[in-house]
Structure 1
Amino acid sequence: MRVLVMGGTHHVGRAVVEVALRRGDTVTTLNRGQSRPPAPGVEALVADRTDPGAVRQALGGRSWDAVIDTWAWAPSVVRDSAQLLAGRAEHYGYVSSRAVYAWPWPAGADESAPLVAGDPGSQDATDYAAAKRGGELAVAEAFGEHALLARAGMILGPYEDVGRIPWWLRRLERGGPVLAPGPADAALQYIDAIDLAAWMLTAAERGTGGAFNLAGPAGHTTIGELLATASQVIGSEAELVWAPAELLERENFPLGMEFGLRYPGNPCPTGLHDAGVSAALAAGLTLRPLRDTLADTWAWLQREGDPAPRPDTPSPAQWFDPAQEQHVLTLVRSRRGT
């Protein structure tokens, strides 16, 4: 296909470009041209997404088979791009989020769960959930049944710039006793950015539209399996010391929040890691093994170094206090009598 990626330099956008090139697609990107040089074989268009005139000039009168848009801020930017490309692209895939569902999320909820309010014309980017919902509405208005709304869960894998897996890999690399957010058998539901990209491109090729929850099946893995596999991947002999969620809550230590295992005042939130994803699985979603996700992330970190912290998302490195970790480790061990 001829694919236009709106973005294409960070996390999911970069994964989309990589997978599209691997598939043999012809890839064009549009971004500010300030983050990374374009990948070999990519046509890079430069424009500020917040300037509709600049976007119009950069795109010219061209057309594409599919557009993939990863924008996460003001919905009006998505609206302007979608309206501009209506009639010039066959398909518009928007990387949305499960955040568009009204909280608290019901356990096992599918795409019919209640949604937050959103305004496609809003220029407000302070409310992430409302912004993503507004972006969804903008794409749906412009592309109708040819709009694909990918409501991704927790996105892991190579190029992750939120700081979840990269931070944990570095912490395990340092070794020693490592405080871990228990219980070890707590379920984790995530989507690898590579799997997300591959599914969206295949969906575009097939003309699949509509809203889909994108994540692995509930119970696909656990926090214990993730951290144990991460240790194996990097060859770490770190000792995982599991702290109960209630203890972490009492000590005001946010460990575990990076994976959404708990929230302040709510040690065990429901609905976060057990979304209904049968629609996406029926539509061809496939999942790489967890080990591959972690190994690719580790290889990327070894090759390019740690990603720069995102200004809009606090990374674990910004809140993790080694002294507090040692304090909680002591508490855990005293409870065990060790």
Structure 2
Amino acid sequence: MRLLVLGGTEFVGRAVVEDALARDWDVTVFHRGGHAAPSGTTVLHGDRTEEGGLDALAPGRWDAVVDTWAGAPSAVADAARLLAGRAGHYAYVSSRSVYTSPARAGLDEDGPVVDASPEDDGTDYARAKRGGELAAESAFGDRALSVRAGLILGPHENIGRLPWWLGRIARGGPVLAPGPRDLPLQYVDARDLAAWTLDAVEKGLGGPFNLVSPPGHTTTGELLEACAAVTGSDAELRWTDPGAILDAGIQPWTELPIWLPPGETHGALHRGDVSKALATGLRCRPVAETVADTWAWMRSLDGPVPQRPDRPRVGLAPEKEARLLGA
């Protein structure tokens, strides 16, 4: 297989490239040059946001394209139109955020989606991702695959959610653990997303697929206890009622990454229907493996964990945590 990855140097794109190389595929990576591409790839440079930024893609033919773009969907439209006659399949890494909010628990791919177009400016994430889907479909038709990912974790994460928890628990001492302990979590390891996506383009699958683990794949307790085990710290997980956390003004998801209190928003994010992806071969590794591999990657870094410049840093200030634990 000849694969073109638009992106391919960070997190999900990197996982796709590494999986394709492990299959002995011929991989071309197109990116701006800000990060080194994995060894063994053919590298093309260009900036999709600039005039003539796709010129490096003018020649060439590929069996499949994987696009991880998260900005204005016009960039997807431009690339898809350019490649439509020279690529067999176009997989766009989208998001379950495309569903109208609040999405009900158990929603499948037929659920209502936000109004969007390939002409959206990209300032609204949900509309940008839906616009990207429409752009890919316009150029490739049923050869376009929309990978509607949920929460993504794993090595090379540049959002900081799981790395924050690992770093906090590694420091030890009393740790604010948001309850309930058995609250189910639904996420996907970037490497499992990559493996399913490449299998899907090889099979010729098209259309939208929710791409996240089955509901209840793990729990908040299993996740944080795995962090404690792999770091070997003396952290004391102090399980705290959601009401007390919210009353203290602590924000779910941002200050306590990954966590959402029980309710409508939790149901939308952590109880999605993924039966379609499971029926087409999605396999999800145990949470302990995702945690251990992410910690090993963090320890291999010469500097801090990389952070996407277009996303705010996540995590709870120590003094805010201490105030609630003290209370």
What's the TM-score once normalised by structure 2's chain length? 0.96
For residues 311 and 246 of structure 1, what CA distance do their matches in structure 2 show?
A: 32
CA contact under 8 A between 1:52 and 1:81: conserved in structure 2? no
Equivalent-residue separation in structure 1 for 2:182 and 2:300 (angstroms): 32
SS in 1 for 2:49: coil
Summarize the Cα distance change of 1:80–1:52 in structure 2 as closer, same or farther, 3 Å threshold: farther
Tell me which stretches of 4 or more aligned residues in structure 1 moved more than 6 Å: none
Task: Report the alpha carbon displacement of residue 293 of structure 1 after superposing the two structures with TM.
Answer: 0.9
Residue range with higher mean Cα deviation, 250-259 or 275-284: 250-259
**What are the Cα deviations for residues 216-275 of structure 1, in whole angstroms up to 9, with x where unaligned?**
111111011001011111212211011211111111112554215149xx7964321000
Q: Deviations over 1:308-337 (max 9, x none)?
A: 3322222224xx221110111122xxxxxx
| Secondary structure, aligned partner of 2:116 | coil
In the alignment, is the contact (CA less than 8 A) between 1:91 and 1:146 conserved in 2?
A: yes
- 1:44 corresponding residue in structure 2: 43
Distance 1:177 1:260, change over 3 A: closer
The aligned runs of 1:45-194 (5 Å cut-off) are: 45-51=44-50, 53-55=52-54, 57-122=55-120, 124-194=121-191
Distance (whole Å) between structure 2 residues aligned to residue 323 and residue 209 of structure 1: 49
Q: What is the DSSP-based 3-state SS (H/G/I as helix, E as strand, rest coil) of the residue aligned with 1:316? A: coil
Distance, in Å, in 1 between the alignment partners of 2:71 and 2:261 is 25
- In the alignment, which residue of structure 2 is the partner of 1:238? 235
User: Aligned letter for 2:135?
Assistant: A
Task: Specify the alignment match of 1:248 in structure 2.
Answer: 245
Question: Could you say what secondary structure the match of 1:4 adopts?
Answer: strand
Q: 2:102–2:265: 8 Å Cα contact kept in structure 1?
A: no
Structure 1: which 5+ runs fail to align? 332-338
- Stretch of structure 1 that moved more, 129-138 or 234-243: 234-243
1:200 aligns with 2:197: yes
Matching of residue 273 in structure 1 with residue 270 in structure 2: yes
- Which residue, 317, 321, 329 being the options, matches 2:325? 329
1:31/1:45 contact within 8 Å kept: yes
Matching residue's letter, 2:225: A
Q: Is the 8 A contact 1:79 1:120 kept in 2?
A: yes
Aligned to 1:24: 24
Deviation at residue 307 of structure 1 after TM alignment? 2.4
Secondary structure of the residue aligned to 2:148 is strand
Kindly provide the amino acid, as one letter, of the partner of residue 31 in structure 2. N
Q: Aligned AA for 1:108? A: G
Instruction: Tell me the TM-score normalised to structure 1 length.
Output: 0.92
Percent of aligned pairs sharing the same letter: 53
Which amino acid in the other structure matches residue 186 of structure 2? Q
Distance 1:328 1:189 in 2: 27
What pairs with 1:256-335 in structure 2 (closer than 5 Å)?
256-257=253-254, 258-262=257-261, 269-304=266-301, 305-317=303-315, 320-331=316-327
Give the match's secondary structure for 1:286. coil
Deviations 1:89-143 (A, max 9, x none): 0000000000000011111110011100111122x12100000000000001111
